[in-house]
Amino acid sequence: MGRDLSGFYDSAYARGGERHAAWRELGARGKADHVASLCATAGLRWGSVVEIGCGDGALLAELSARGFGDSLAGFDISSAAVELARERAIPRVASLDVFDGVRLPVEDSAFDLGVLSHVLEHVERPAALLREAARACRAVIVEVPLERNASGGRPDKRASSGEIGHVQALDRAAVRALVESAGLRVAAELLDPLPREVHTFFAKSPVDQARGLAKAAVRRGLFRVSPAVAERAFTLHYACACVPA
């Protein structure tokens, strides 16, 4: 029997509080940057946009604030998250609904663009979910953390990833294999070592703040010198625009 993901995330959103809500909003700004950049690079349409795994609506709110998409929609397996998203009253959001994590209750090609941002690492059958997204959407943006690397493989890192619901540790080759299995191809891609605000967000003391700043500087410095080495050394965020093969 699979893990009770809906119950896990209902509990997570219920106990998250304002600090974690602010964390999700910080992440949403970077995710929105990636969505907009990839759509422009790949020449994708984004009239109707659906976020699959929309959580509390932070990314939908950021996209709406930027005027991205004529009509927005969201699905999530957590009823608690969907309720939080509805409370935002996000402009141009046509619907926010709970789904079973397997089947979207929409017709084929119902949306111009589907967004799965930091979702596939959380599900036990990522290939099946991506195939469903490809059925429902004319194009798909996928973003995941690349955790199959030297840093991500450490026991403490795997444990912390598990605590936040990661059940997959992916690298770029694994993501591309998932994309191909869904009948899609990568039309554009990007890597992000993350800004210093991400590395310092949970700092509780000046020492923690300094460590976060140093970590951000080292990672971005190595990434500038050699993205390939950085990808093997520590976690980067990887996003790709996927279109029918």
3-state secondary structure 143-200: EEEECCCCCCCCHHHHHHHHHCCCCCCECHHHHHHHHHHCCEEEEEEEEECCCHHHHH
pTM (2 d.p.)? 0.93
- Give me the tens of pLDDT residue by residue for the chain, a chain 245 residues long: 345 677 777 677 777 678 888 999 999 999 999 999 999 999 999 999 999 999 999 999 999 999 999 999 999 999 999 999 999 999 999 999 999 999 999 999 999 999 999 999 999 999 999 999 999 999 999 999 999 988 888 888 888 888 888 999 999 999 999 999 999 999 999 999 999 999 898 889 999 999 999 999 999 999 999 999 999 999 999 999 999 99
How far apart are the C-alpha atoms of 123 and 127, rounded to whole Å? 9
Domain boundaries, the chain: 5-193+240-244
Instruction: Give CATH superfamily name and number for 5-193+240-244.
Output: Vaccinia Virus protein VP39 (3.40.50.150)
